Amino acid sequence: MSERLVVYEPFRSLFYTPQFVTLYGGHFAAEGLDVEVRTSTAAVTTTGALIDGTAQVCLGGVMRSLDLADRGGPRLVHFAEVNSRNGFFLLRRQAAPAFAWSDLVGRTVLSFMEAPTPWQCMLTVLRRHGVDPARVGIERTRPVAEAVAAFRAGHGDFLETGQPFTELLLAEGAAHLAASMGDATGPLPFSSFMTTTTALAERRDMLTRFTRALYRAQQWLARAPAADVAALVAPAFPDVTPDVRRAVVARYQAQGTWATDPVLRAPGYEYLQQILLDGGFIKARHRYEDLIDTAIARAVSGA
What would the pLDDT profile of 143-193 be if each residue is shown by its tens digit? 999 999 999 999 999 999 999 999 999 999 999 999 999 999 999 999 999
pLDDT at 214 exceeding the cut of 90: yes
Over residues 228-248, mean pLDDT: 97
Q: Count of residues for the chain?
A: 303
Rounded CA separation 77/115 (Å): 19
SS (H, E, C) the chain: CCEEEEEEECCCCHHHHHHHHHHHCCHHHHCCEEEEEEECCCCCCHHHHHHHCCCCEEEECHHHHHHHHHCCCCCEEEEEEEECCCCCEEEECCCCCCCCHHHHCCCEEECCCCCCHHHHHHHHHHHHCCCCHHHCEEECCCCHHHHHHHHHCCCCCEEEECCCHHHHHHHHCCCEEEEEHHHHHCCCCCEEEEEEHHHHHHCHHHHHHHHHHHHHHHHHHHHCCHHHHHHHCHHHCCCCCHHHHHHHHHHHHHCCCECCCCCCCHHHHHHHHHHHHHCCCCCCCCCHHHHECCHHHHHHHCC
Residue-level pLDDT at 179: 97
Residue-level pLDDT at 148: 96
Phi and psi of 283, rounded to 5°?
-105, -25
Residue-level pLDDT at 23: 98
pLDDT at 199 exceeding the cut of 90: yes
The mean pLDDT of the chain is 96
Over residues 58-82, mean pLDDT: 96
Rounded CA separation 21/1 (Å): 22
Over residues 88-92, mean pLDDT: 98
pLDDT at 131 exceeding the cut of 90: yes
For 246-299, what is each residue's pLDDT tens digit?
Answer: 999 999 999 999 999 999 999 999 999 999 999 999 999 999 999 999 999 999
- Residues 262, 82, 245, 187, CA torsion sign: negative
Half-sphere exposure in the Cβ direction for 85 (13 Å, CA)? 21
Rounded CA separation 94/117 (Å): 26
C-alpha distances out from residue 91 to 15, 170, 225, Å = 17, 9, 26
pLDDT at 226 exceeding the cut of 90: yes
Residue-level pLDDT at 303: 84
How open is the CA angle 217-15-271, to the nearest 5 degrees? 95
pLDDT at 1 exceeding the cut of 90: no
Task: Confirm if 207 and 55 have CB atoms less than 8 A apart.
Answer: no
Angle, nearest 10°, between helix axes 165-172 and 144-152?
Answer: 10
| pLDDT confidence band for 55 (50 / 70 / 90) | very high
| pLDDT confidence band for 44 (50 / 70 / 90) | confident
Q: Which residue(s) pair with 5 in the sheet?
A: 35
Task: Look up the pTM and report it.
Answer: 0.95
pLDDT at 213 exceeding the cut of 90: yes
Q: Which amino acid is at 278?
A: D
pLDDT at 115 exceeding the cut of 90: no
Task: Confirm if 12 and 236 have CB atoms less than 8 A apart.
Answer: yes
